Chains A and B, each alone.
Chain A
Amino acid sequence: MISFFRVIKFALQDMVRNMSLSLMTVVILVLMLLSVNTLVVVKTITGEAVRTVKDQIDVSLYFASDVEQEQVDELTSFIESFPEVTEIVYFDSNEVLNDFKSSHQERDYVIDALDEIVQNPFGPTLVVKTREPNDYQKVIEAVSIPEYADVIEAKTFGDTQEYIRRIDVITQQVEGFVLMLTGLFAVIAFFVIFNTVRVAIYTQREEIGIKKLVGATNWFVRGPYIVESIVFSAVAVAITLTAVYMAVQVIDPYVAVMLETEGLLTAFYDQNMMQQVLMQFGVVLALTITTSGLAMRRYLRR
């Protein structure tokens, strides 16, 4: 136990006495974490943008005006049974008529023509949403059977099929790009941290050798570096996430203009702060401890 406290004492002593090296290490870690958080922000914004675009896509099934309610209910149940379907909104004939009138209220001749027809010419409408844009095709194929030919008068999907296909391609490309960027940042972060720690260990290689010569065990030599890694990682994560949290509150109004989502980034960090703290601290700590262990290995063999 006494050795454990001595290791902590030596670590704190080393940090204070090598203040410039300690500060430089923390600065490097903060810069890397800022890059990672930039990526987190980009990923959140693109994710929201893709979600917004996907949310605007749906398929409308227009029923014939003389359709029976039973037929509508049966078809609704059938579509609901698809796991890909996330939402079905039903509009009855009157709602469709009112909606049509309100959207054409400035065209008097259309309203007059409707008034001439005593009977409501519209049938009910089903608006269907699925998880992914390419799931719409499944729904459309399922209802395009002869059995439903007389029931469904029209479908909007045919017109927007190409549009949905393009959106799907774009969203896949954006997701792929963000994934690639994540990989790239991870590799850069690894090498920057690896080299920072390696240089720090290299400058202290003689000290490591001296400690071994006077009878220090590997644990006693390595211990202070592990404690320093924990402190540096904690300080770096605290500084970075504080700065990022303040920055996203400045950025959020601009994001809201683009995506019409208020406080997107602030809400993300509010909901995921603990997860981000643990994840970023864990990754940085694992990196610094692993790299210091690797860098120190050769000096510990003596």
Chain B
Amino acid sequence: MINLQGISKFYTRDSVGLHDVSLSIDHGEFVSVVGQSGTGKTTLVKLLIAEERPTQGTISIGDWDITKISQRDIPLLRRQIGVIFQDFKLLPGKTVEENVAFAMQVAGESIKRIRNVVPKVLDIVGLAHKSHRYPTQLSGGEQQRVAIARSLVHRPKILVADEPTGNLDTVNSQEIIEILKKINEFGTTIVLVTHDKDIVNQLRKRVITIDNGKIISDADHAKYRL
């Protein structure tokens, strides 16, 4: 499903994001990518959603080589990969419902389909009753759930979560992880980037550990080792 071959990303001569990283993630896997701050985890996320381009190597998603993806095709890629971030990245001027609907509107989906899908995904994340609120009127956990709902509207085969619990307390973090597990059970591949030891240990799924831009371990049913 996701295949990285010899990926390196150099920002400057002295600043290395990733160095000769090769990995493969199969359909339906739940993979945690762990490592300390500044080790290259977020660079990996940026490469997967084509926000950055690798200096060397190739990245393919399914049969699609996105290494040299054109500017024109980037929106198409992003509509097929769900992404959630530590800082939620919600549009502050739009309500919960509008934030979720926006991801479908940019893809040219019909009004009928939007009206059908949006309430359903909001229901999945337990926010149907707050659909008319603005992001600032929600707690951090609720905002992250909106972000998850937004990422689900296109039924993505891959969901990339970059430190989704970084700004949340333990209870809210647990809720988010439970939602991600549920999404994974429906067949979506989850790439969870985190440095939260407890979450990784509790999941007992595949863990890829990155240090100084290199993969230092890749093990199934593993624990956080750093």
Q: Does A pair with B? A: yes
Q: Is the pair B91, A210 in contact by a Cβ cutoff of 8 Å?
A: yes
Q: Is the pair B92, A215 in contact by a Cβ cutoff of 8 Å?
A: no
B171 within 8 A of A: no
Select which of B79, B83, B91, B110 is within 8 A of A211 by beta carbon: B91
A98 within 8 A of B: no
Q: Which residues of A contact B (CB under 8 A)?
A: 2-3, 6, 13-14, 17-18, 206-207, 209-218, 220, 302
Q: What CA separation (Å) do A2 and B90 show in the bound complex?
A: 23
Q: What CA separation (Å) do A270 and B7 show in the bound complex?
A: 69
Q: Interface residue count for B (Cβ, 8 Å)?
A: 26
Which residues of B have CB within 8 Å of A6? 105
Which residues of B have CB within 8 Å of A302? 51
Which residues of B have CB within 8 Å of A207? 91-93
Q: Which of A14, A17, A213 has the most CB of B within 10 A?
A: A213
Q: What CA separation (Å) do A13 and B98 show in the bound complex?
A: 11
Which residues of B have CB within 8 Å of A14? 93
Q: Which residues of B contact A (CB under 8 A)?
A: 49, 51, 71-72, 74-79, 83, 89-93, 102-103, 105-108, 110-111, 150, 154
Q: How far is the CB of A221 from chain B (nearest CB, A)?
A: 9
Select which of A13, A18, A216 is within 8 A of B106 by beta carbon: A216
Which residues of B have CB within 8 Å of A215? 75-79, 103, 106-107, 154
Question: What are 5 pairs between A and B in contact, CB < 8 Å?
Answer: A207-B92, A210-B90, A213-B89, A217-B106, A218-B71
Q: Is the pair B89, A210 in contact by a Cβ cutoff of 8 Å?
A: yes
Q: What CA separation (Å) do A2 and B108 show in the bound complex?
A: 7
Other A-B contacts than A211-B106, A212-B78, 5 sampled, CB-CB below 8 A, are A2-B111, A214-B78, A215-B77, A215-B79, A216-B102
Q: Which residue of chain A lies nearest to B103 when distances are taken between CB atoms in the complex? A: A214
Which residues of B have CB within 8 Å of A2? 108, 110-111
